[in-house]
Structure 1
Amino acid sequence: MPADALKQAVARAAVDYIAPKLDRHDIVGVGTGSTAGFFIDYLAQIKGHFDGTVASSEATATRLQSHGIPVYDLNSVDDVVVYVDGADETNPRLELIKGGGAALTREKIIAAVAREFICIADAGKWVDCLGSFPLPVEVIPMARSHVARELVKLGGDPVYRQGCETDNGNVILDVHNMRITDPRALETAINQITGVVTNGLFAHRPADLLLLGTEAGVEQIAAE
């Protein structure tokens, strides 16, 4: 099955999963990336069932608004009932690597606020051990070289993502060649480097539910 078909299947499944839980006062958090894009398109079909959304990127906000779905500043809402987003990798504990689309900081903020975090991904994102996908780290621009040196000390091979500026005005270092056996410890260690905004490990706040698109259909996998 083509990758886009799997992404569409999990996006549809996510809307079907959240629709019965929503009421007209609810706020839905929406992620960034190609799978999240399909989710937005299906979410538009039930836009009268909830109040509005918070978006993890400017691109997501634009796509939501193009469907007539209200987008609020996170500071103006009291509660996010559910957050739906994709991932670059997930392990069986639903710890994730995210940030291929450079929206990791806003994604992590919304995930922290949300009552429920649903990850939607195709089977190619499922791994036993995180790290094959380079780990994105968002960095204050003037700290880029310092942070890179510190990431080398942690065993990684950081590469500056050329031509990428995040919605927050920062830069991305992609850390290659790391086998991440303790995601929570590494997430903490990287975030303690001066100049790091955050990194793309979602281990302290993993997903609550994974909707995984496979050739046999969409599997629901709860966090261990």
Structure 2
Amino acid sequence: MQALSQQQLKTLVGEAALEYVSGGEIIGVGTGSTVNCFLHALERIRDRIKGAVSTSPASTALLRELGIPVLDPNDVDELGVYIDGADEIDHHGYMIKGGGAALTLEKIVAAQSRRFVCIADESKLVDLLGTFPLPVEVLPVAERRIVRQFEAMGAQATIRQCGGAALLTNHGMHIVDVRGLQITDPLLLEAQVSQWPGVVTVGIFARQKAHVCLLGTGQGVRTLTFCA
């Protein structure tokens, strides 16, 4: 049997995520190539959902192209489900997110949702978070001090660049990418870094962990369910 390509795996998990979309609800939608596969599958049942809250301009544009209403998070009390990918996910449902620089809105939408369904290929499943650089969204005025705080922990921290200058997020902030961390206690590190003055959002999703992960594997879609 020929091995499935990464694109085929993304399509499989995107299709599988439809099972978690209930009729009459507003859903949360992330961003990325795997989420795009989910959105193209979602088009088939678009008349069953009331609308979506999107975490990125790219997903917003695709949702509108597919005829799905896009709502502002402030206009929605609760979302039935949030479907998004992850840069890393461990066996407890804790994740690193923010590779696309949308981590603040992603965390807001995750907190608004009754259930977080992570869709990913099996390369994203890890025993210990930290191989993927940890994104931290920061106020520009505080970025150098935050870099030094991570360096004092033995990590390497750099300000993410775009076109020779510091990348600006949708909120006008900068991203510090942190390498060399072994995140043995995601809940503790998320809480600690979130308290540093100047930090807007840390890309550890431990309090807003995944409830379910649909993992694309060579044998098909593997469903991981995590304790609350």
Of 165, 168, 171 in structure 1, the residue corresponding to residue 171 of structure 2 is 168
The residue type paired with residue 80 of structure 1 is: L
Say whether 1:190 aligns with 2:193: yes
Partner of 2:115: 116
Retained in 1: the 8 A contact 2:90–2:127? Answer: yes
> How far apart are 1:154 and its partner, in Å?
2.9
> How far apart are 1:36 and its partner, in Å?
1.1
> After the TM superposition, which residues 194-209 of structure 1 pair with which residues of structure 2 at under 5 Å, given as runs?
194-209=197-212
- Give the TM-score taking structure 2 as reference length: 0.94
> After the TM superposition, which residues 41-52 of structure 1 pair with which residues of structure 2 at under 5 Å, given as runs?
41-52=40-51
Quick one: distance in 1 between partners of 2:73 and 2:154? 36
Quick one: distance in 1 between partners of 2:63 and 2:107? 19
Retained in 2: the 8 A contact 1:84–1:119? Answer: yes
The residue type paired with residue 23 of structure 2 is: D
Retained in 2: the 8 A contact 1:151–1:190? Answer: no
Q: Deviations over 1:4-53 (max 9, x none)?
A: 111111111001x124xx223x1000001111111111111110011000
> How far apart are 1:147 and its partner, in Å?
1.2
Retained in 1: the 8 A contact 2:129–2:182? Answer: yes
The residue type paired with residue 6 of structure 1 is: L
The residue type paired with residue 184 of structure 2 is: T
Partner of 2:224: 221
> How far apart are 1:107 and its partner, in Å?
0.4
Task: Identify the range of structure 1 (115-124 vs 164-173) with the bigger mean alpha-carbon deviation.
Answer: 164-173
> How far apart are 1:85 and its partner, in Å?
0.3
Structure 1: 5+ residue stretches without partners: none
- Give the TM-score taking structure 1 as reference length: 0.95
> After the TM superposition, which residues 1-224 of structure 1 pair with which residues of structure 2 at under 5 Å, given as runs?
1-15=4-18, 17-19=19-21, 22-24=22-24, 26-163=25-162, 164-224=167-227
Secondary structure of the corresponding residue to residue 184 of structure 1: helix
The residue type paired with residue 43 of structure 1 is: L
Q: Deviations over 1:84-142 (max 9, x none)?
A: 00001010001000111111110000001100100001000010000000000011112
The residue type paired with residue 194 of structure 2 is: N
Structure 2: 5+ residue stretches without partners: none
Quick one: distance in 2 between partners of 1:193 and 1:156? 16
The residue type paired with residue 151 of structure 2 is: V
> How far apart are 1:153 and its partner, in Å?
2.2
> How far apart are 1:169 and its partner, in Å?
1.2
The residue type paired with residue 35 of structure 1 is: T
Quick one: distance in 1 between partners of 2:154 and 2:40? 40
Quick one: distance in 2 between partners of 1:177 and 1:191? 19
Retained in 1: the 8 A contact 2:77–2:112? Answer: no
Quick one: distance in 1 between partners of 2:193 and 2:6? 32
Quick one: distance in 1 between partners of 2:60 and 2:31? 9
Quick one: distance in 2 between partners of 1:110 and 1:70? 16
